[in-house]
Amino acid sequence: MSHDQELHRLELAISNFLRYGVAASALLLGLGWAAQILQSGDVLANFQTYRPESLRLIMEQAIATRSYGILLSIGGLGILVLLPILRVMLTAYLFIKQRDHYLAAMA
């Protein structure tokens, strides 16, 4: 396999990784929201009054009450937040493979 073919393969792998990551995030978010609707019926009732709570507290309550919809939604959001970070890391690796150290340092 030539160097150019290997770089092209890496670029495709990064794009597929991002595509499947967004799809997995959307699937988890959709399943989580559907589970919340089925479990509680009125999902907007919690938004009538704003109460700031930590993520840790929300997760502890969700585990204690077996609110798997909330846990799935948090997992989907977590994946969605991590994707750009992983993209930068993978792109930096790609730049290193291309021997473009300036762009690798910028990434």
Report the percentage of the chain scoring pLDDT > 70.
85
| Helix (H/G/I), strand (E/B), else coil: 12 | helix
Question: Looking at residue 5, what is its pLDDT?
Answer: 83
Spatial contact of 14 and 87, defined as CB atoms under 8 Å apart: yes
- Residue 102: the pLDDT is 67
CB-based contacts of 97, cutoff 8 Å, min separation 6: 6, 7, 10
Instruction: Identify the CA nearest to 77 among candidates 35, 37, 26, 40.
Output: 26
C-alpha pair distances (Å), 65 with each of 1, 45, 96: 54, 17, 47
Confidence band for 40, pLDDT divided at 50, 70 and 90: confident
What is the tens place of the pLDDT at every residue in 45-93?
666 777 788 989 988 998 998 888 889 999 999 999 999 999 888 888 8
- Give Cα 1 to chain centroid, integer Å: 32
